[in-house]
């Protein structure tokens, strides 16, 4: 039974504690951006072609045959999570004023990806700094939640915001996005920040290090020679004493990872599994995770570790450019 009171307390100390309250994205308000080769160099060919042909349109209008399965797959997982007693919040409709903000760059609006615009670390939520500035609209779609948490005495802060442009000065602008941040505060307090060149930058890492001096903040370099990975969770996820990794695209491999990560029980994924975001999974508790059923090989490897896997169709969602972890964000974990 879940006795946790909604929107009363932020507590996220790791990636695997029993989830009590979370955000889950929505796809019905997804408006495609206009094409920009700098901003969207990391997207795959299918979504790139859709943006080039239908930039500015609603996803449901531009690709109705794709939108239908995506909507169904997202909502099916939400229903399952709620059936487990978890409190699930959804983004609100953006107002017209919010939709006009960042108009210089793009009309894009996508509240499907709840991982990137905020990050919960311990008892704090911080609003991130996007390389694609119009995605900051996402923070307004959950302000009814974050501001209520603040009214209840919780700490809500924000990273310094970059310019409304796709071309950033990495010497003057902080960039940090939630998909690049993994945490494990249970054992001496560790925070890991990815650096692929497509999202978080060196100043983003430094801001996190200075803002959370009580934790050990590490930067992990990501090789994009073979594939333009956007975030750390494209190539690595971590749980209690295990994880999934694309070893060849972590600079230095497992031996080059921060010391606390080196001796985990690592499941290796392939480049194709990484591109499809099949390791982009979420934990219900330390013994149970949710995975895309298309990740058949990875599921077997995870189950061999003694982890229970709840499998759901999610391929159509993943093809947009992110999967289960990308679509969710914890507010409270035991």
Integer Cα distance of 101 and 59 in angstroms: 20
Rounded CA-CA distance 24/330 in Å is: 9
What residues contact 18, with CB distance under 8 A and at least 6 apart?
A: 284, 285, 286, 333, 334
Residue 59 parent element (H or E):
helix 59-62
User: What pLDDT score does 102 carry?
Assistant: 63
Cα 300 from Cα 307, distance rounded (Å): 10
From CA 219, how far away is CA 216, in angstroms rounded?
10
pLDDT at 41 (0 to 100): 79
pLDDT in tens, 179-191: 999 999 988 899 9
Cα distances (Å, whole numbers) of residue 270 to 222, 244, 253, 267: 15, 10, 14, 10
Burial zone of 305 (CB within 10 Å; 0-12 exposed, 13-18 middle, 19+ buried): exposed
Report residues of the chain scoring pLDDT below 70: 1-2, 101-105
| Residues β-bridged to residue 205 | none
Whats the size of the chain, residue-wise? 334
Please give the Cα distance from 72 to 74 (Å, whole number). 6
The predicted pLDDT at position 1 comes to 55
Task: Answer whether 248's CB lies under 8 Å from 236's CB.
Answer: no
pLDDT of residue 105: 59
Give domain 19-333's CATH number out of 3.40.1620.10, 3.75.10.10, 3.90.1150.10, 1.10.8.60. Answer: 3.75.10.10
Residue 294 DSSP symbol:
T
Q: What is the pLDDT of residue 101?
A: 67
User: What pLDDT score was predicted for residue 268?
Assistant: 97
Residue 103: the pLDDT is: 60
pTM of the model: 0.91
Listed in order, strand segments (DSSP E) in the chain are 19-24, 87-89, 118-121, 124-127, 155-158, 181-184, 190-195, 216-221, 236-238, 242-245, 265-268, 282-285, 288-292, 308-312, 328-333
- Return phi, psi of residue 227, to 5°: -150, 140
């Amino acid at each position: 039974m879940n006795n946790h009171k909604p929107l009363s307390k932020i507590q996220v100390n790791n990636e695997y504690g029993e989830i009590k309250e979370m955000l889950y994205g929505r796809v019905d308000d997804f408006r495609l951006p206009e094409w920009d080769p700098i901003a969207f160099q990391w997207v795959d060919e299918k979504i790139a072609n859709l943006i080039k042909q239908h930039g500015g349109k609603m996803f449901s209008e531009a690709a109705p045959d794709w939108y239908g399965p995506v909507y169904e797959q997202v909502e099916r997982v939400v229903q399952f999570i709620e059936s487990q007693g978890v409190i699930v919040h959804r983004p609100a409709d953006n107002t017209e004023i919010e939709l006009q903000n960042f108009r210089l760059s793009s009309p894009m609006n996508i509240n499907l990806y709840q991982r990137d615009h905020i990050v919960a670390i311990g008892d704090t939520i911080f609003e991130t700094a996007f390389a694609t500035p119009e995605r900051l609209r996402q923070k307004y779609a959950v302000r009814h939640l974050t501001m209520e948490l603040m009214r209840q005495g919780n700490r809500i802060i924000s990273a310094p915001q970059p310019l409304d442009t796709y071309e950033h000065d990495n010497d003057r602008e902080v960039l940090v996005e939630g998909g690049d941040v993994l945490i494990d505060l249970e054992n001496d307090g560790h925070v890991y920040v990815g650096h692929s060149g497509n999202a978080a930058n060196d100043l983003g890492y430094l801001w996190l290090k200075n803002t959370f001096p009580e934790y050990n903040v590490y930067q992990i370099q990501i090789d994009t020679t073979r594939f333009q990975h956007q975030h750390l969770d494209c190539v690595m996820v971590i749980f209690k004493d295990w994880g999934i990794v694309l070893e060849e695209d972590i600079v230095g491999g497992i031996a080059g990872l921060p010391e606390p990560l080196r001796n985990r029980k690592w499941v290796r994924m392939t480049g194709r599994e990484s591109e499809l975001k099949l390791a982009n999974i979420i934990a219900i508790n330390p013994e149970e995770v949710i995975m895309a059923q298309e990740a058949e090989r990875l599921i077997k490897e995870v189950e061999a570790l003694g982890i229970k896997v709840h499998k759901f169709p999610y391929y159509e969602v993943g093809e947009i450019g992110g999967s289960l972890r990308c679509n969710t964000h914890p507010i409270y974990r035991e």
